[in-house]
Amino acid sequence: MTRHLCITVHFLDPLYHGQEDGGKREWPPSPLRLFQALLAGARAGCRDREWSEVKAKALRWLEQRKPPVIVAPNAPPAPSYTLYVPNNDGDKKFDRQERLTSKFARPSRLGNGNAVHYLWLIDDGEWSEAQPHADLLCSEARHLFALGWGIDMAVAEGELLNSIQVAKLAGQRWNAWDGYDSPGDAGLRVPTHGTLENLLHVHESFLGSVDGNQYRPPQELQAFIKITYLPPGNLLPRPHAAFELRSTQDNWWPFRQTEAVFVAAMIRHLTCNAAKSDEYEFPGGAQRYVAGHIDKSGAETNMRFSYLPLPTIGHQHADGMIRRVIITEPFGGGSEYAAWAGHRLRNAELVPEKEGSYRSNDTERHAMLVEPQDEDTVFSAYVRPSLTWSSVTPVILSGLDDCKQSKAERLFFKAMRQAGLPVEAVED
């Protein structure tokens, strides 16, 4: 029987103040934040005397698990406000007003419920080894007293659930996209191998940061990873490399929409040549990822580059001519392959794959792929988040709809699945 270790946190107040890096609102609370709260509860006050290697082993076991599924209520942003609190070095100031510093709060307001569930899957084959750790963590969860800021008071409980019980948990499910580390500041922090030891060293360095008149800045936590968490139906980021089509004199080099397939072919040809002369490794090899060739099994795969000419749109004088292109990774890509394309193809000449392939005299001359220098509203119209999308080029379905709405709808959803888009992402 499949088991799930479930740690449930009940907030005592509907406002949650936890923030990501850069002061952004954090929801749901990250798995690393829960891990820190469990450790703080286990070593708070008189319980510090009960700290043992057995408890440390249980937390080490937890930090090496795959990122948990999080079930949480909706928590829209609440009004921001400013707090004035004592400064950490306020003992150097005699005037009370000079000892205060501002702290900007960006809370989230819990909607339908106050419970957040964290779920770790435990397979049958590892149950005998995992049971002592899971039972101990269920017991230690009762010592948690806050999650987020110190004012985010909470109580917690741990239990072991089966799949039926997990399905009945109320709230929105946030799934970890395992293997996809979030670039930059995106994603939620997740514990990893060495997080416990790192936290203990950070705490010790904080306790010893002041020695007489000497101040040594405490260490910062380093042992964690960032993972993208998304509810069902939401799409992972799709990293891309963007280029403008320019002449050697830095003028625009436009193509007509009827030449879109030729532009895409030239971009693909140029990228394939770059991959052949490079030792860079791609998932499944360059023939699949860069050229888009299907393997011998004939199985469909979305693990490949997409070469997308972009008609000019987004303002009243837009003429629909193609002046920009992007090379995109699949949804959930790690951005390294798009970065490779952006570096290898920068300032490259766009040449036909075969002489005489294109009928337009304009295409017989060579355009250059130039990296955009300024913020571009046309690129933004294609890549920014939106709830409503319209196609400015024809959508080709894999079959005839026989003028039937229901059949056209089925073909449309089939095309979405083939493109790697979840059907759950479509709303009426």
Cα 171 to chain centroid distance, Å, stands at 20
Residue 235 forms part of a structural domain? no
User: Which regions of 278-362 does DSSP assign to beta strands (E)?
Assistant: 306-311, 322-328, 349-350
- H/E stretch holding 18 reads none
Provide the number of structural domains found in the chain. 3
Q: Could you give the 3-state DSSP secondary structure of residue 41?
A: helix
CA–CA separation, 155 and 12 (whole Å)? 8
Task: Check the CA dihedral 360-371-333-414 and report its sign.
Answer: negative
The last residue of one of the domains, among 230, 248, 269, is 230
- Give the CATH number for residue 17: 3.30.70
DSSP 354: S
Q: Nearest CA to 17 among 180, 190, 148?
A: 148
CA–CA separation, 331 and 277 (whole Å)? 26
Same-domain status, 352 and 409: no
Distances (CA, A) of 12 to 146, 304, 376, 390: 9, 48, 46, 44
Residue 93 forms part of a structural domain? yes
Residue 413 forms part of a structural domain? yes
Residue 23 forms part of a structural domain? yes
Question: Which pLDDT value is given to residue 354?
Answer: 65
Same-domain status, 203 and 288: no
The last residue of one of the domains, among 230, 251, 282, is 230
| Type of residue numbered 98 | E
CA–CA separation, 14 and 77 (whole Å)? 12
Same-domain status, 275 and 294: yes
Question: Which pLDDT value is given to residue 428?
Answer: 63
The last residue of one of the domains, among 230, 250, 283, is 230
Same-domain status, 145 and 293: no
Same-domain status, 298 and 183: no
Q: Nearest CA to 362 among 243, 264, 263?
A: 263
- Give the dihedral of Cα atoms 8, 11, 17, 22; nearest 10 deg: 0
CA–CA separation, 321 and 253 (whole Å)? 9
Residue 403 forms part of a structural domain? yes
Give the pair of three-digit tokens for residue 4: 């799930």
Cα 41 to chain centroid distance, Å, stands at 29
- H/E stretch holding 296 reads none
Residue 56 forms part of a structural domain? yes
Q: Nearest CA to 289 among 306, 300, 305?
A: 305
CA–CA separation, 285 and 268 (whole Å)? 15
CA–CA separation, 289 and 305 (whole Å)? 6
Same-domain status, 143 and 177: yes
Same-domain status, 266 and 339: yes
Question: Which pLDDT value is given to residue 98?
Answer: 65
Residue 83 forms part of a structural domain? yes
Same-domain status, 38 and 171: yes
| Type of residue numbered 385 | P
Same-domain status, 299 and 363: yes
Residue range of the domain that includes 163: 3-230
CA–CA separation, 4 and 121 (whole Å)? 5
How far is it between the farthest Cα atoms of the chain?
Answer: 84
Same-domain status, 129 and 210: yes
Q: Are 344 and 274 in contact (CB under 8 A)?
A: yes
Q: Report cis status (omega within 30 of 0) of the bond before 107.
A: no
Same-domain status, 345 and 386: yes
Question: Which pLDDT value is given to residue 360?
Answer: 46
Residue 154 forms part of a structural domain? yes
Question: Which pLDDT value is given to residue 421?
Answer: 78
Beta-carbon contacts of residue 407 (< 8 Å; ≥ 6 apart): 399, 401
Q: What is the mean pLDDT of each run of 10 residues along the chain (428 residues)?
A: 93 94 89 97 93 96 96 92 74 60 88 94 93 96 96 96 94 78 67 96 88 84 90 80 91 91 94 92 91 71 88 88 94 87 93 60 69 85 84 86 90 84 73
pTM of the model: 0.68
| Type of residue numbered 171 | G
Question: Which pLDDT value is given to residue 331?
Answer: 83
Distances (CA, A) of 375 to 283, 372, 380: 31, 8, 8
Same-domain status, 73 and 190: yes
CA–CA separation, 332 and 291 (whole Å)? 19
